[in-house]
Structure 1
Amino acid sequence: MIKQAFFQGKNKKRRYFEGWYFKCISADRKHAIAIIPGMAIDPQGKKQAFIQVINAVNGKTWYHHFPYSEFNAKLDQFYVEIENNSFNAGGLSVNIDTAEGLIKGQLIFDHCQPFPTGRKNPGIMGPFGLLPLMECYHAIIHLYHEIKGDIVLDGEILDFNGGVGYIEKDYGRSFPKTYLWLQASHFENRNAAFVFSRANIPFLGRAFLGFFAYFTDFQGVTVRFATYNHSRLVTWEVDKEKGICYGELKGPAGKLAFRAQMNGGGKLRAPVDGLMNREIVESITAEVWLRLTNPQGEVLFESLSHEAGMEICLD
């Protein structure tokens, strides 16, 4: 397990957030939810803990607020606890019944595929993830895992037995002002995982456009395209109003083309200087088409996913 998954905010006093993102898709694809536990510290040093939930089927979202005294996260392993709720690499347990809504249940994760890390590849951000004073750090924890269990959400029992999931996290001061994020791991042809992000990244008083893309089919085909490995984003088109984007990347591994379409979505809170008062719209039932070719032009993978995560934030 990569150390980025562990809690990073022990000594933070103000302007800080940290959140873990658990995406869960049922075997029959009828249920899709995301659960996001986290903590935040505003510019005045006031701390809070939270658990956000989004139901992709109807776009309904919940923001459950907790006193920071109920937050406990370990520094030497991936373990987060907020009141009677716990989250780790092996699963999650939720037990919330408040005026905002009800969510209860336990999910167990099996056959986990962690994001591969090492000295040459410290994380999805590459060497940028090692730089101090970045506005936001991003980490992928599980590219894919299988799920056992069910969740009661808003009075409905959601059966996730045989389903699949994904875990990532963000931490720092604020989400990027402008960015696009895609994540898909439920392709029609075979199991595979794809993650892409492009953002305007402020650093030391300046800003630069950075991107990364990672794809694996868990069967020997694994590629990475990123600002830090001599890859280029040669084609880029976004229509925020229609929720559409298209991209084509070239790099040492070949060429990767993708097209994504938002489908539904719900409003989540995002951090600005540790204040959880920015609203973003996220879909976890977006459609993503993907084609990967090697440097010789041979198609290595081409397929469609209907249960992808997608956010477009351009203002």
Structure 2
Amino acid sequence: MANLWKPEIFQGRSKKRDYFEGWYFKSIDKEEKTAYSIIPGISLPRDPEKSHAFIMLLDAKNHKMYYFNYKKSDFWADKSQFEIKIHKNIFSLKNIHLDIDDGENKIKADLNFSNIIPWPVKLLSPGVMGWYAFVPKMECYHGVLSFNHCIRGYVDINDNKISFNGGKGYIEKDWGTSMPSSWIWMQTNHFENDGISLFGSIAKIPWLKSYFTGYIFGLLYNGKIHRFTKYNGTKICKLIVNDDIIEIKLENKEEILEINAKRAEGVDLPAPSFGEMTSKVNESLNSKIHVKFYIKKEKDIIFSGTGRNAGLEFVGNINELLNGFMK
């Protein structure tokens, strides 16, 4: 139970099957010429023969994905803090160390993180999911571990070494049985002004033999995370999705957030279904997201800007998400 207030650490110590857990590290170099997402995790399907640990690496600019499969026994997690090891590879909130050689690809990396900005954890709201984190047997749980942080270090893929000194990063995670059947996800921390970051997610949530649409958005602006979530009374006033554009308008008691995201070409990544990595999600790290943020009582817009190097995903059926608002 105490792990609820530490969403970053491994949550699945007692799980044997129909379970997954994965951490998502997004890293952009200073010149914004290289964008990697590195995803370590563990997959525990119903068939124990298919259980394994994994490391995924998405090279977004070159539209290439690497998937490295490891034995379940190669996975180790600290019990009290976020540190996991998969064979020779180490992951924490402070750093990533990669030492991969599968005979076809050789990847080495040392990335060090500083100035981590997590979603706040409070007694009755242990992270980004708010009080929903206390609900047992949900299909999927989520954590935002760093809205924005500084990077030093390098990644070397097949003798192509890229410096990440001065780069920016983002960290989140998911755990549970399966990813939702329908969802929208977006993230960017590359705006015209430094120190601004946007994260957002809308998803179909199974509930008591039916479902509802859940949503969590956070805008880091002037050192404060402005929250637009279902559990704090935020309403979605507009949701439009087509092949090119995702438009969203969110409104809470005091603030309004308008989002216009332009979708770019992505890469298909494996995703979990009942713990097994058999689903697919198309992810781009080359999208753009325009944001307007303002206070209801004030006429002037507080912030307006376009985020670059944006992560963007849309999976499933938009009608499921729209219908879920009425449940």
1:184-209 deviations in Å (ceiling 9; x for gaps): 11111232111111011112322101
Question: What secondary structure sits across from 1:29 in the alignment?
Answer: coil
Aligned counterpart in structure 2 of residue 311 of structure 1, from 310, 313, 316: 313
Structure 2 distance, partners of 1:57, 1:229, is: 37
1:85-135 deviations in Å (ceiling 9; x for gaps): 000011100011114522111001112222211124311111112110100
Indicate if the aligned counterparts of 1:24 and 1:166 stay in contact, CA closer than 8 A: yes
Give the unaligned 5+ runs of structure 1: none
Deviation at 1:253, TM superposition (A): 3.1
Indicate if the aligned counterparts of 1:142 and 1:168 stay in contact, CA closer than 8 A: yes
Q: TM-score, normalised by structure 2?
A: 0.92
Indicate if the aligned counterparts of 2:286 and 2:310 stay in contact, CA closer than 8 A: yes
The alignment covers a number of residue pairs equal to 312
Residues 1:67 and 2:71 aligned together: yes
What is the one-letter code of the residue matched to 1:212? I
| Corresponding residue of 1:43 | 46
| Corresponding residue of 2:85 | 81
Residues 1:135 and 2:139 aligned together: yes
Question: What secondary structure sits across from 1:257 in the alignment?
Answer: strand
Indicate if the aligned counterparts of 2:215 and 2:229 stay in contact, CA closer than 8 A: yes
Indicate if the aligned counterparts of 1:8 and 1:75 stay in contact, CA closer than 8 A: no
Deviation at 1:221, TM superposition (A): 4.2
Structure 2 distance, partners of 1:205, 1:34, is: 35
Q: Which range moved further: 165-174 or 95-104?
A: 95-104
Deviation at 1:300, TM superposition (A): 1.6
Structure 1 distance, partners of 2:266, 2:33, is: 15
1:211-247 deviations in Å (ceiling 9; x for gaps): 1111112x244311111111100011001x33x2000
What is the one-letter code of the residue matched to 1:293? Y
| Corresponding residue of 1:267 | 268
| Corresponding residue of 2:322 | none
Residues 1:53 and 2:49 aligned together: no
* Cα RMSD for the two superposed structures: 1.4
| Corresponding residue of 2:323 | none
Structure 1 distance, partners of 2:196, 2:14, is: 38
Structure 1 distance, partners of 2:238, 2:103, is: 47
| Corresponding residue of 2:154 | 150
Indicate if the aligned counterparts of 2:189 and 2:308 stay in contact, CA closer than 8 A: no
Aligned counterpart in structure 1 of residue 201 of structure 2, from 185, 188, 197: 197
Kindly report structure 1 stretches of 4+ aligned residues shifted beyond 3 Å: none
Q: Report the CA distance shift for 1:220/1:26 in structure 2 as closer, same or farther (over 3 A).
A: closer
Indicate if the aligned counterparts of 2:195 and 2:223 stay in contact, CA closer than 8 A: no
1:130-154 deviations in Å (ceiling 9; x for gaps): 1101000000011111000110124
| Corresponding residue of 1:164 | 168
% same residue = 34
Structure 1 distance, partners of 2:119, 2:131, is: 16
Structure 1 distance, partners of 2:178, 2:207, is: 13
What is the one-letter code of the residue matched to 1:289? H
What is the one-letter code of the residue matched to 2:111? L
1:233-268 deviations in Å (ceiling 9; x for gaps): 0011001x33x2000011123110001112222111
Q: Which range moved further: 116-125 or 177-186?
A: 116-125
Residues 1:24 and 2:30 aligned together: no
Aligned counterpart in structure 1 of residue 6 of structure 2, from 3, 6, 10: 3
Residues 1:256 and 2:260 aligned together: no
Question: What secondary structure sits across from 2:123 in the alignment?
Answer: coil
Question: What secondary structure sits across from 1:228 in the alignment?
Answer: helix
Q: Report the CA distance shift for 1:158/1:253 in structure 2 as closer, same or farther (over 3 A).
A: farther
| Corresponding residue of 1:95 | 99
Indicate if the aligned counterparts of 2:120 and 2:128 stay in contact, CA closer than 8 A: no
Aligned counterpart in structure 1 of residue 16 of structure 2, from 6, 13, 23: 13
Residues 1:211 and 2:215 aligned together: yes
Indicate if the aligned counterparts of 1:49 and 1:68 stay in contact, CA closer than 8 A: yes
Question: What secondary structure sits across from 1:112 in the alignment?
Answer: coil
What is the one-letter code of the residue matched to 2:83? Y
Structure 1 distance, partners of 2:25, 2:224, is: 25
Give the unaligned 5+ runs of structure 2: 318-327
